[in-house]
Structure 1
Amino acid sequence: MALETEIKFKGADFDRVRTILLALSAERKGRWMERNLVFDDADRSLRRKGVLLRLRQDRNSVLTLKQPPAEEQEDVKVFHEHETIVQDFEAMRAILGGLGYTVAFRYEKVREEWAAGEVHVCLDEMPFGQFVELEGERVAILALARELGLSLDTSTTATYHALNQAWREEEGLAPDENFVFESPPDV
């Protein structure tokens, strides 16, 4: 079981971040479309416990289980995370359905991934905005955020699900847990 420690920054200038990453000799891993299905039971008991069961399709198909830790951090989000590559996306979807799970919501993002030392950097284009996500050890994340000129004033530990819900409310849109692109961006 791995601990996932991350923080997101809203509205960052991707071009500026890329320029700094290149100056830091960070390695660009690629850019792709990511499609996600989040599963839960009929009572939404996983959500109530803060658990995420997700089937993702990008360069691979990946099953993920995220569980909250015993202790929370204030400035970064921490989850116990289990992930495994699955051979057949539709077969895994059927297995989860057979266990009583249904798709609670779906979401998409375009992700550009970088490695900057020990920190995993994602430039995430969502249907409701742009975010820089930093994942790694807390001290390294916060140090890289400073180097990238990312202010903690624009940081969040909220999930993309919660950010979508807040954005929809701010925009006066009807509630909808799904967030997918009307027309997918070029990747």
Structure 2
Amino acid sequence: MTQEIEVKYRVRDLPALEEALARRGVLLSSPARQDDQAYAEDGWTYEHSKIGVTFARLRTQQGRHLFTIKRPLDNAMACLEHETEVADREQMHHAIVAMGFHPTVRIVKTRRSAMLGDVAVCVDEVEHAGVFVEFERTVNGEESGAAVQEELDALARSLGVELERATDTYDSLVRAALTPA
């Protein structure tokens, strides 16, 4: 069982973050546009917990379509994850709906990424939500997601840049930004 464990931060000063990453030898990739459609199990709403619930995502990036299933274990950013490439986004959308999921939020972002040792670093400019940085590691199912998140948080804080930790996933952040107060 593979888990994707991440921590996410709102970035207030992007040039300072880029400089701090560069000092660590982190060279971010060229920007890539990601167009994600998020899905939830029928019956689930944003008022419910995400723990133990299966979510799907259909992503298009540079002409490739990726289908992903995530199930949060410890929290919304410590997930069991399975991912595969699919040939036809529209047909996969219909298959996901036929499997008992409903579309929730569309997330469009520009991502630049790099590796810092065994940690993936992603700087995301998310439409409607702002600029974020994620630190992510893939681990086996026996490791504690919360413990790995503590390690990732220490790494993020060691950069010496002002970062505001976000505990919500992008779908929740975009939904909140688009929901009238």
Equivalent pairs counted in the alignment come to 166
Provide the secondary structure at the position in 2 that maps to 1:16: helix
Work out whether 1:11 is the aligned partner of 2:11: yes
TM alignment of 1:1-187, pairs within 5 A: 1-40=1-40, 42-44=42-44, 48=48, 50=50, 51-59=54-62, 60-69=64-73, 71-72=74-75, 77-126=77-126, 127-136=128-137, 137-138=148-149, 140-150=151-161, 154-168=164-178, 174=180
More strand by share: 2
Cα distance change on mapping 1:145 and 1:81 into 2, 3 Å: same
Q: Do the aligned residues in 2 keep the contact of 1:123 with 1:133 (CA within 8 Å)?
A: yes
* In 2: Cα distance, 1:61 partner to 1:86 partner: 6
* In 2: Cα distance, 1:96 partner to 1:165 partner: 20
Over the aligned positions, Cα root-mean-square deviation in angstroms equals: 2.7
Q: TM-score, normalized by length of structure 2?
A: 0.76
The alignment-based identity, stated in percent, is 28
Q: Do the aligned residues in 2 keep the contact of 1:64 with 1:83 (CA within 8 Å)?
A: yes
Provide the secondary structure at the position in 2 that maps to 1:34: strand
Cα distance change on mapping 1:48 and 1:84 into 2, 3 Å: farther
Provide the secondary structure at the position in 2 that maps to 1:148: coil
* In 2: Cα distance, 1:146 partner to 1:100 partner: 40
Q: TM-score, normalized by length of structure 1?
A: 0.74
* In 1: Cα distance, 2:158 partner to 2:17 partner: 10
Q: Do the aligned residues in 2 keep the contact of 1:46 with 1:52 (CA within 8 Å)?
A: no
* In 2: Cα distance, 1:64 partner to 1:122 partner: 18
Q: Do the aligned residues in 1 keep the contact of 2:11 with 2:131 (CA within 8 Å)?
A: yes
Post-superposition shift, 1:174? 1.9
